Homo-oligomer: A and B are copies of this chain.
Amino acid sequence: MGRYVFGVDIGGTTVKLGLFGEEGVLLEQWEIPTVKENGGASILPNVAESVKGKMEERHIREEDVAGIGVGAPGAVDEEGTLVGGAVNIGWKPFNIPEALGAYINVPIKAANDANAAAYGELWQGGGKGSANMVAVTLGTGVGGGIVVNGSLLNGATGAGGEIGHIHLVDGETESCGCGNRGCLEQYASATGIARLAERRLEKDEKPSLLRGRNLSAKSVFDAVKAGDEVAIEIAEQFGEYLGKGLAVVAAVVNPEVFVIGGGVSKAGEILLSFVEPAYKKYAFHQCRGARFALAELGNDAGIYGAAGLIILN
């Protein structure tokens, strides 16, 4: 097996690339723009060219490359097929390893980008040392990546770990982006927290640092850190929703650790202090001991996880 591995994380504006050496050490990382024109037809040729350029620069031969792992922004099945396409970058459904393999002759594997990021956190981040993990990404939405016995759970149609779309609340009047109503994402994402804050502030006139401020996950948790009572109520509500949702997830996959990442997680350890107690309240007793950790790799989780697809399998 070759000594080098490339990890590729295809995003809506840039493609992140990483060159990994023995034992998974990140040697170098760089980016190229994601060219979305023509249905994203140049994205994979550009990736191949960039990888080949790096190989030439470093005098790496094809036989020294163990493989290329690719994270893509859509549902990807076990064979690396992007089953539903990837609307953000204009891709229709196709098999990624086959398509990229037309430009470069090394082993290739592909996974969903959120799942790849989860895998990165498992391998070298907040979930290190665990074989059963749930990674939770609290951003604009709520994403999830699930690792079972050391392998990514992709599911039958690549929708494994779509925990943001767990039905959590009956009688919700607003719709989630997915079309349903009452999804976890509507309460625990960055936008969900802003909405909880708005609803709480409208309820009464209790003074709060948040009044007249731009409501966001950041402003809420900053106010929590300043001891603001209304902000603490909002954070408790968020914790109740997310803790309850993760307790449901635990009754299904029984993870050893939950790794919490995404923009909202920048609030730090204080975030976990609102989620864990609610989790323990709703969790099945045998699942109650699951650990909670913050994600550690930030935006690099994707390239780590993509490389991990090659190195760990």
- A residues touching B (Cβ–Cβ < 8 Å)? 75, 78, 84, 130-132, 144, 146, 148-149, 151, 153-163, 165-167, 178-180, 244, 247-256, 282, 284-287, 289-290
Docked-complex contact B151 and A287, CB < 8 angstroms: no
The interface residues of chain B lying within 8 Å CB-to-CB of A130 are 156
The interface residues of chain B lying within 8 Å CB-to-CB of A253 are 146, 153, 155, 160, 252-253
Given contacts A155-B287, A162-B284, A166-B251, 4 further A-B contacts (CB under 8 A): A148-B153, A162-B287, A167-B244, A248-B252
The interface residues of chain B lying within 8 Å CB-to-CB of A287 are 155, 157, 159, 162
Q: How far is the CA of A153 from the CA of B247 in the complex (A)?
A: 17
The interface residues of chain B lying within 8 Å CB-to-CB of A250 are 159
Q: How far is the CA of A158 from the CA of B156 in the complex (A)?
A: 23
A167: nearest chain-B partner, CB-CB:
B282
A250: nearest chain-B partner, CB-CB:
B159
Docked-complex contact A160 and B254, CB < 8 angstroms: yes
Q: How far is the CA of A57 from the CA of B47 in the complex (A)?
A: 65
- Residue among A148, A153, A287 with most chain B CB within 10 A: A148
Copies in the complex: 2
Docked-complex contact B290 and A159, CB < 8 angstroms: no
Contact of A254 (CB < 8 Å), options: B158, B167, B251: B158
A169: nearest chain-B partner, CB-CB:
B170
Q: How far is the CA of A256 from the CA of B290 in the complex (A)?
A: 28
Contact of A155 (CB < 8 Å), options: B75, B132, B144: B132
A249: nearest chain-B partner, CB-CB:
B252
The majority secondary structure among interface residues of chain A is loop
Q: How far is the CB of A190 from chain B (nearest CB, A)?
A: 20
Q: How far is the CA of A243 from the CA of B78 in the complex (A)?
A: 27
Q: How far is the CB of A240 from chain B (nearest CB, A)?
A: 10
Shortest 3 CB-CB contacts between residues of A and residues of B: A155-B254, A159-B286, A156-B256
Q: How far is the CB of A171 from chain B (nearest CB, A)?
A: 11
A157: nearest chain-B partner, CB-CB:
B286
The interface residues of chain B lying within 8 Å CB-to-CB of A248 are 166-167, 248, 252
Q: How far is the CA of A49 from the CA of B130 in the complex (A)?
A: 39
Docked-complex contact A180 and B282, CB < 8 angstroms: yes
Docked-complex contact B156 and A251, CB < 8 angstroms: no
Contact of A157 (CB < 8 Å), options: B154, B180, B252, B289: B289
Q: How far is the CA of A244 from the CA of B248 in the complex (A)?
A: 12
Docked-complex contact A162 and B251, CB < 8 angstroms: yes
Docked-complex contact A159 and B289, CB < 8 angstroms: no
Q: How far is the CA of A78 from the CA of B150 in the complex (A)?
A: 12
Contact of A160 (CB < 8 Å), options: B144, B252, B289: B252
State whether A254 and B159 are in contact (beta carbons under 8 Å apart), knowing that A148-B153, A244-B167, A248-B166 are contacts in the complex.
yes
